[in-house]
Structure 1
């Protein structure tokens, strides 16, 4: 059985980085993500360094372009990695934008250095079509191929099938789930399970929870926003620039299209993130990868990611003016801004200006990692307080969470991913989840195998 070394993501929900050891000379790296929230150490620079030996790494395979899966890529390049960076065709278009932003925020502001990194990245990116085998290694030590399949998490996301044959003829199939999406996600087809594998590295973000019926999420979103607007204020939606922002725009366009009252037709939807605006533009260019429902909207002459009441805030000056204007006037608006866990970005200025005002509302539509301001606001809510940039801010604004919008598979979806394989893995490694989520999913998987009279070894790191 091939060995897997985890360089992040094994005991938390960020920093995903997994090294598959093929033999003494060859290995594969799956993702190279940034640590965030409680997973980040105080001396975060030390944690960013690529301390492990990369001399055997034949390729880096990217499951998707969220920062907790690709954020350490600049450090990998700086450590001397010159091999191919393999990803899906949509991810190949999105990855340079993510890395450019990551470089500016956490690596360097030197434009020449950023340009050099970007040029090197462009040379190393190898885009691979979905469902197509791609050979990584073939020599006297054996052969290794990979196949990317849609994961339904964000546009371009995939899970990775690895087919390895050793020099002695022994074969092994390993699957790395990346982050799996759930059925009925906006814009994206649901993931389908592979035929089977020997080892499975499975994410467990929601391993201890199930989402409400996702098909009702638009009605829940509409109700949450209408309740907030009844107070005459702004709805602040912390959302990651890629994935969640585009899903929300898609859903809001649907609500506005169906709404008969003037409240929705005059409501401003503000995306305050230059990066999100750039991602949304690329999303629009990637229409062929949208799901059937989205294709129907396009054929009907609608523009799900580019509608009349959608406004984009670009410059920092414009951002400051928007924050001040909305905080002062209480004009009804929906503001979508990064970061999704309130751990930086433009959403922080909105929170500082509006959390203390009962007219406004914070609407969480995604997972809030332990140790992030987002988790604190969600946990303590109205009547509590949160520290932002060293300042204590009382939470008088309303706080609402809608879990039906999670881009992650829930417990049932994760179990079904295994259950629907024709050949179940004999070894499952649970990663990308907090300790309780991993423990609960471990027991559920073991019970599922026991009911079928099958044996499994489920590893949950502590």
Structure 2
């Protein structure tokens, strides 16, 4: 048994890990797109897929699934196993990725989606399924809820050799933070022999939910006092729905004469709107708090103050309207790292306006526009957008507590909560500081009985 890494070891994008079961069989866990400083990487599948018999998808963020079309083009013909909700989301994500980064030719897109849909095998949580294996070894897997986004999972894989000895490998995918809106927190597995774990926030801890909600409320109230706009770059799946949930709660709990009752919340992302519909479709996966609100007649993802923008024409009209009128508004638009999408048009128009506030609620990868704004905004620096130099007069805020990723405490508890601790931990999906900090913490907490290794490509 061997684990190879084809992405997300020198950063947080391009997740793709290969579990070598034996000389004749390999299984891929995720096949994601490179973003930020890694975005110029060759997207073609350069590693040998001759023995790859299956792909397991932990969740549908683009940095975990964006290279699937290239995998299909390289000749992959095996099943694509994923959770039931992720199976519903995956074609939407891939269609959008094709349109944005590959082609808008409807015939090519339709052909790729047809191939994809033939390969997808939807499996419910906690249900073991056999992995196609050649040779004497056998392998089976099951998904457990990861709490990161709708449909997200970590995966347990049992390999049994010819002597009937078993080895369990757990791939964390991306683990969710505790006490986030909408989805239950992940529970640790019973056991693992080998654990491959993400480390996005391996060196940081998030604000608590009460604290971050208070911070969100305070920032928005200050921001809209001057009738400016609040720009929130947010990923279409996960962060957007959590923020809508929190904003609905702030509006609902405000007094009837409060400014919150009149504030405009604009969701300017057709993809995010599509995914929000999927969140509503899979309400049975929500946590108990969210289910109670629905039972009481609340609509946490579809409330009166919310306006959804669909077409590009409507998008430009909203920007022009907000430019000409002093109207306070909260705009949620993708992409989450400002690497493209409609948020860039808002930033280009409003970033040099002193009444603008930019609110980051998630991780910003190295060399992304989001990271540059985060870095230079507090010192009134500048960034380049579409080759134009734009001074950052807007106020820039960061609330780490809204990250969809577990923090250092969560990543530690994921291991210490196991009844049988792993003897080997491989740390992936993080910047160097985060990986090194998490490795040191694991060694401190777990002692010398556990081999802690930082994954390398």
Please state which band the TM-score falls in when normalised by the shorter chain.
over 0.9
Q: Distance in 2 between matches of 1:197 and 1:332?
A: 50
Q: Show the counterpart of 1:99.
A: 94
Q: Show the counterpart of 1:26.
A: 25
How far 1:40 moved relative to its partner? Answer: 2.4
Q: Does 1:370 align with 2:366?
A: yes
How far 1:460 moved relative to its partner? Answer: 4.5
Q: Show the counterpart of 2:132.
A: 137
Q: Does 1:423 align with 2:416?
A: no
- TM-score by length of structure 2 reads 0.98
Q: Which digits, 9 at most, give the CA deviation of each residue in 1:39-80, with x for residues without a partner?
A: 223xx4xx1000111121111000000000000011001111
How far 1:138 moved relative to its partner? Answer: 5.5
Q: Distance in 2 between matches of 1:457 and 1:407?
A: 25
RMSD: 1.2
Q: Distance in 2 between matches of 1:282 and 1:152?
A: 16
How far 1:140 moved relative to its partner? Answer: 4.8
Q: Distance in 2 between matches of 1:63 and 1:393?
A: 38
- SS of 1:93's equivalent in the other structure is helix
Q: Show the counterpart of 1:312.
A: 308
Q: Distance in 2 between matches of 1:432 and 1:415?
A: 15
Please, which of 174, 188, 193 is the counterpart of residue 188 of structure 2?
Answer: 193
Please, which of 382, 390, 393 is the counterpart of residue 393 of structure 1?
Answer: 390
Q: Show the counterpart of 2:338.
A: 342
Q: Show the counterpart of 2:217.
A: 222
Q: Distance in 2 between matches of 1:6 and 1:160?
A: 16
- Residues 13 and 39 in structure 1, CA contact (< 8 A), matched pair in contact too: no
Please, which of 257, 261, 264 is the counterpart of residue 265 of structure 1?
Answer: 261
- Residues 236 and 334 in structure 1, CA contact (< 8 A), matched pair in contact too: yes
Q: Does 1:446 align with 2:412?
A: no
- SS of 2:132's equivalent in the other structure is strand
- Residues 425 and 450 in structure 2, CA contact (< 8 A), matched pair in contact too: no
Q: Show the counterpart of 2:317.
A: 321
- TM-score by length of structure 1 reads 0.97
Q: Distance in 2 between matches of 1:85 and 1:292?
A: 31
Q: Show the counterpart of 1:172.
A: 167
Q: Which digits, 9 at most, give the CA deviation of each residue in 1:414-441, with x for residues without a partner?
A: 0110111111111111110000100111
Q: Distance in 2 between matches of 1:460 and 1:34?
A: 18
Q: Does 1:359 align with 2:358?
A: no
Please, which of 406, 430, 433 is the counterpart of residue 433 of structure 1?
Answer: 430
Q: Kindly tell me the number of residue pairs found equivalent between the two proteins.
A: 455
How far 1:139 moved relative to its partner? Answer: 5.9
How far 1:283 moved relative to its partner? Answer: 1.0
Q: Show the counterpart of 1:456.
A: 451
* Alpha-carbon distance change, 349 to 141 in structure 1, aligned in 2, over 3 angstroms: same
Q: Does 1:79 align with 2:74?
A: yes
Q: Distance in 2 between matches of 1:139 and 1:459?
A: 30
Q: Which digits, 9 at most, give the CA deviation of each residue in 1:98-124, with x for residues without a partner?
A: 000001111111101101111111111
Q: Distance in 1 between matches of 2:450 and 2:374?
A: 40
Please, which of 283, 286, 289 is the counterpart of residue 290 of structure 1?
Answer: 286
How far 1:340 moved relative to its partner? Answer: 0.3
Q: Distance in 2 between matches of 1:87 and 1:156?
A: 8
Q: Show the counterpart of 2:243.
A: 248
- Residues 140 and 167 in structure 1, CA contact (< 8 A), matched pair in contact too: no
- SS of 1:82's equivalent in the other structure is coil
Q: Distance in 1 between matches of 2:332 and 2:450?
A: 46
How far 1:461 moved relative to its partner? Answer: 3.4
Q: Distance in 2 between matches of 1:289 and 1:87?
A: 15
Q: Distance in 2 between matches of 1:135 and 1:129?
A: 13
Q: Distance in 2 between matches of 1:88 and 1:388?
A: 38
Structure 2 residue runs without a partner (length 5+): none
